[in-house]
Every structure is written in structure tokens, then in C-alpha cells.
Chain A
Amino acid sequence: MSQNYDLELDCKGLSCPMPILKTKKFIDGMEVGQVVKMTATDAGSIPDVQAWTKKTGHELLSYEEQNGVYTFYIKKTVGE
């Protein structure tokens, strides 16, 4: 099943904390309800994105790992 998304953000090649900082900035510019597909190669991505969504309240719809690339679908659920 493929996940629908509105926007894409490429954080591949970046190390901690950059994927999270970029995701935060990107989501700040999105509308509530929109979904971003974020890709990263940082090996700590899964726990970090989980912790980040838990703390900020945005919804991590799903994630997967394939050949060292992590893909996350995050829905903006909280406005400013």
C-alpha cells in the first residue's frame, strides 16, 4: 500500500541533528492536514523522528527502511 503525500523533503546525506531541524522548518511552512514524505540516511532517524513527532504532536503515519534510506510520512496536525 502506498502512502499519499502532499510534499517531499530530502534529508539524505545529513547527520543528526540536521534532518530534524530541516523537518521542523519545513513543517512550519506547511498547512495543517498536509503530509510530507521525508527521506533520510541518518542511522538514528527512526527513534529520532518518533521522538520528535511524539513531542511536537505531529502524526507519524508510517515509515520504512530500504537499503539504508529511511522514509517517513508525517502529517502536520498542530498549527502555530
Chain B
Amino acid sequence: MTAKRLAIIAGHGTLDAAYPPLILATTAVAMDMEAAIFFTFYGLEIIKKGKADKLQVSPIANPAMPQPVPGISIPNIVGMLPGMTAMATGMMNGWMRKANVAKLSELIKMAQEFDVKLIACQMTLDVMNIKKEDLIDGVEVGGASTFMEFASQDAIVMTF
């Protein structure tokens, strides 16, 4: 069986968690598939107006984070100090620019151009007191059955 659709659940709002859903969904459309991303809980941050390029990397509980100075291992607990999240994010953004990786806002624009279905989870909008107006234009608001209806037909499902 050949899958015709890619259905993704984006549940995290960190910079590193926001890339894979957008990269894979746009690539799926480029490969003649249909794609949808269901944004829930912190994943909603990705599609808040003006937020995509301000997402951060968390150095806490992230032992895989490369060290700022190669060869010098900094204890993970240092990540709890004020300013460390901003520092880790700055480092990551620097690496991304160096590798010329597209900004998240560019990938979102591409996703919309490619007709990737962007679904904001109604229930978590209510829980987190986020209004539809807080989200970028072109996002559809729906619940679990909106996502499952899409995912139920020849789909690959991924969770991030």
C-alpha cells in the first residue's frame, strides 16, 4: 500500500520541535502527497502570529545539546540559571544561520502555499485561553475527529 497522506501531530513549542513537522509536511506535498499538521498544547506556539521565529531551545533536561566550548562539559543544571534558555537559543539560531536553514516563518509560508492543512486544536485553544485571532491566518480550528478523518485514509501518522 502506498500512503497518500502525511498526518502530523505537533505538540511541542520549542524551536527544535517545530522544524520536523513543517519540513516533513512541505516535503510530502512536494512528493505529491497531501499533508496536515494538528497543532496541540505547546505546538500552538508555532502558529501564533509573529511567534515562529521567536521559539526557543531549552537547555534544561537536554543533555544532547552541543556544548558551547567543545571539549568542556557544562553540567546540565547550569541550564537552570537565568538567561541560559536565551543563550542556548542564540547558539542554535547562529548554527542555523550558518547552515542557511530556512526560518520557521518561511517554512510556514511554504506550507500554506503548498496547501498543507494547518489545524489548531480547539480544546487546547480553550484550555490555554488562546483566541483564533492570535493565530496566523489560514489556520483551521478543529478537534480530534477533524484530524482523525484526515488520518484515516491511507495516511502515515507522525507525532512530534
Contact = CB atoms under 8 A, between A and B. Distances in A.
A13 interface: yes
A23 B110 CA distance: 13
A14 B101 CA distance: 7
Interface string A3-24: 0000000000111111011011
A17 B26 contact: yes
Nearest to B30: A24
B35 to A, nearest CB: 12
B31 interface: yes
Name the residue among A14, A16, A18, A52 with the largest chain B CB count within 10 angstroms: A18
A18 B31 contact: no
Interface residues of B, number: 13
Contacts of A18: 102
A62 interface: no
Contacts of A15: 99-102
Contacts of B29: 24
Given A16-B23, A52-B30, A56-B32, A21 B99 contact: no
A55 B102 contact: no
Interface in A13-46: 13-18, 20-21, 23-24
Interface of B: 23, 26-27, 29-32, 99-102, 110, 114
